[in-house]
């Protein structure tokens, strides 16, 4: 894809994704805490600032230490329709919330996990991309993962985050 073109949400076929070099990855079941926000907020990420509108869902990775504010936790916005489609309520009957999870629950969060996989490609070249929550296109550098979500929405993440969130097939 030429750098002057911007990758945006669109309907992809599985054939198109495979031809473009994408593979499908199942999610690793991991706890995220999420809440509906009442007023719009900008969320600073590694390469861009994402916009979460009133009524959007913000997901948090609790970690193992209580943060002074919600902004101290890794967090990202998800539009309500995508959240409903890709996340399920946490269903582990043995779960006992740790202190960060309790802190997030006191701030209106509930436990969930992502249950749908993603089509992804580790970028061999930089590309221009615009996620649903990004007001402007961003240049995604070589080595980051380009992901295509359940409704054709592109987003990106670091190699470390991708390996934490998705399962890799065993090497043959």
Question: pLDDT digits over 40-69, tens only?
Answer: 999 999 899 999 999 999 999 999 999 999
In the predicted structure, residue 16 carries a pLDDT above the cut 60: yes
Q: What does the pLDDT read at residue 169? A: 75
Q: What does the pLDDT read at residue 172? A: 59
Q: Are 110 and 89 within 8 A, CB to CB? A: yes
Q: Are 34 and 129 within 8 A, CB to CB? A: no
Q: What does the pLDDT read at residue 4? A: 62
Spatial separation of the C-alpha atoms in residues 88 and 111, rounded to whole Å = 9
pLDDT class of 125 with cuts at 50, 70, 90? very high
- Taking the domains of the chain in order of start, what are their residue ranges? 1-27+116-172, 29-115
Q: Are 43 and 50 within 8 A, CB to CB? A: yes
Q: What does the pLDDT read at residue 171? A: 62
Any idea what DSSP says for residue 27? B
Q: Are 113 and 94 within 8 A, CB to CB? A: no
């Amino acid at each position: 894809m030429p750098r002057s073109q911007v990758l945006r949400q669109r309907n992809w076929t599985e054939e198109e994704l495979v031809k473009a070099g994408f593979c499908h990855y199942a999610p690793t079941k991991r706890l995220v805490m999420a809440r509906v926000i009442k007023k719009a907020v900008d969320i600073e990420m590694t390469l861009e600032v994402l916009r979460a509108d009133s009524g959007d869902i913000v997901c948090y990775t609790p970690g193992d230490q209580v943060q002074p504010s919600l902004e101290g936790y890794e967090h990202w916005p998800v539009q309500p329709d995508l959240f409903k489609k890709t996340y399920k309520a946490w269903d582990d009957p043995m779960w006992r919330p740790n202190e960060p999870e309790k802190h997030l629950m006191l701030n209106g969060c509930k436990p969930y996990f992502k249950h749908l996989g993603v089509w992804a490609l580790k970028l061999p070249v930089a590309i221009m991309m615009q996620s649903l929550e990004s007001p402007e296109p961003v240049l995604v550098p070589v080595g980051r993962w380009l992901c295509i979500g359940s409704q054709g929405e592109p987003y990106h993440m670091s190699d470390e985050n991708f390996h934490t969130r998705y399962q890799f097939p065993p090497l043959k």
